[in-house]
Amino acid sequence: MQIEGIMSREKMALKIHEYAFIKAEEVIFSQEVRGLCEKNSCGMYGTSWACPPAIGSIEDCKKQCLGYKHALIFTTVTRLKKKYDMAGWREARIAHEAVTEKVAQIFRKEFSNPMILSTEGCTICPKCTYPENPCRFPKRMFPATEGFGILVMQLAPSVGIRYNNGSDTVTYFSMIFFSE
């Protein structure tokens, strides 16, 4: 695939830590992961177009993912000042979303209608329009991998990507589903 060469050349410039190309059918789904969303463990459930229930059932999400042939999973890693540096986590997440946007642009040039998933929930707007009005920025809004029920903790090591990169770091994941 030509995209593999592009990613290999752009990895350092994009500040991607690790990545892997996989078949979409290799993605590991878990109702337990989705259940964390449904229990509102992050506080985003029912508040955003990027999170459940707006993204559909786990079955709908799985069907969307498996409608593609391939996926890219990638990480960014940020060293924190201390283990529980909440401001550092927030800054790292913003930086990760910027990387995800750049990778999304590459995939949108190369493929028709790739699906981009990223971290936690959307933070583009101070107040999401959900559920009253449509998303104002659908091309910039990336649904959460967790909301799709993807078990990143198990998937990452199965494709040679570290889930944890040390006690004073935060690792964020994104995925892009695509077909040739």
pLDDT tens digits, 90-117: 999 999 999 999 999 999 999 999 999 9
pLDDT tens digits, 30-68: 999 999 988 988 888 999 999 999 999 999 999 999 999
Q: Tell me what pLDDT residue 86 has.
A: 87
Place of tokens 């996926």: 71
- pTM score above 0.75: yes
Of 61, 89, 59, the residue nearest 76 (C-alpha): 89
Mean pLDDT in the chain? 94
- 165 vs 150: CA distance, rounded Å: 20
Query: How many separate domains does the chain show?
Result: 1
Of 59, 10, 28, 49, the residue nearest 157 (C-alpha): 28
- The DSSP element (H or E) to which 115 belongs, if any, is strand 115-117
Q: Tell me what pLDDT residue 82 has.
A: 84
Q: Which domain holds residue 121?
A: 2-178
Place of tokens 């529980």: 84
